[in-house]
Amino acid sequence: MNQNRISFPIVLALLAISLFAWRPSAFGQPANSFQAPASHNQNDKTNSRILYHNGFVQVGSSNLYLIWYGCWDNTCGTVGDSASRLILEDFAYNVGASPYFQINAGYSDQFGYTPSGSLPFGGEVVDQYSHGLELKVSDIQEIVSDQISSYRLPADPAGIYVVLSSVDVSSPESGFCDPSAQPHHGTGYAAFGSAFSYAFVGHAMRCPSIAAPQFMSGQTMLPSPNGSVAADAMASTLAHVLSTTITNPRGNGWFDRYGLQNADKCANEFGATYSTPNGARANLKLGQRDYLIQYNWVNDKKGRCAINSSE
């Protein structure tokens, strides 16, 4: 009998261990995040076309999942913000398939497939401080992974999982409240190595002069379309980071020579606005609500920031 022969059950066990230890992505990369660099010279011409880097693009329809991290109901005193949550839920339900979101359909992958511009709402859950009050990037990834592994949210390869934090939660490592940083997104992994795309949106009242400058005049807070500066500012941030997640989910999709992704190139640009009944500025109506949403980059021959591709 050959003493070096390994039994079939042992082979299966070793294979299972190796598969669990290897956490692949579409490109065999570890968990990652993409942060557009802010180190380029402010005099650089950033109105050039965005280039494709032959990587992954979320083509077709992407499903949106929201994770309300911290406390968002009215049992938390001044921390709770159920009114802002309702406004953001409305935005999440209505932004997909809008002319605004169709701008992302202009970014194809290497096979010519494009995002559809559709963004069905897949579901939402609450996570009450499972990773404390200061979130590292790894914490944000694990918050999503935990929801998938516990079957509270599905493992969806076409999904975008957005962690929205309450006002008492900080995340300096993700760039939140850093005036030089763009909204954070990246790739994480659930059980058995399944990859997911995620994004993080912090509560705008944590640092309103940075996270909600469109509604600030010095230290004075201006009216916002839905009567909640937090929600109205976060809706614009959410639109921004959903667009960059779709067109550059793994960090090797679409970005320009300075590392700026599509919505990064239009940060804090809102174009022509109209007045809402409460005296606020708005530039986009979705469903029954008005919003002031930052422009996105239309990557055609002209290359421009716009609220829709026909503008």
Summarize pLDDT for 77-98 with one digit per residue, the tens: 778 899 999 999 999 999 999 9
Instruction: Please list the ranges in the chain whose pLDDT falls under 70.
Output: 1-45
Distance CA 27, CA 60 (A): 19
Q: pTM, whole model, 2 decimals? A: 0.87
185 strand-pairing partners: 34, 199
226 strand-pairing partners: none
Q: Where are the domains of the chain?
A: 57-306
The SS3 assignment for 159 reads strand
Check residue 105 and give left, alpha or beta (phi > 0: left; psi -120 to 50: alpha): alpha
Task: Report pLDDT for 47.
Answer: 80
The SS3 assignment for 156 reads coil
Torsions phi, psi of 17, nearest 5?
-65, -40
Distance CA 287, CA 206 (A): 28
Distance CA 215, CA 284 (A): 16
Task: Report pLDDT for 78.
Answer: 76
pLDDT single digits (tens) 239-288: 999 999 999 999 999 999 999 999 999 999 999 999 999 999 999 999 99
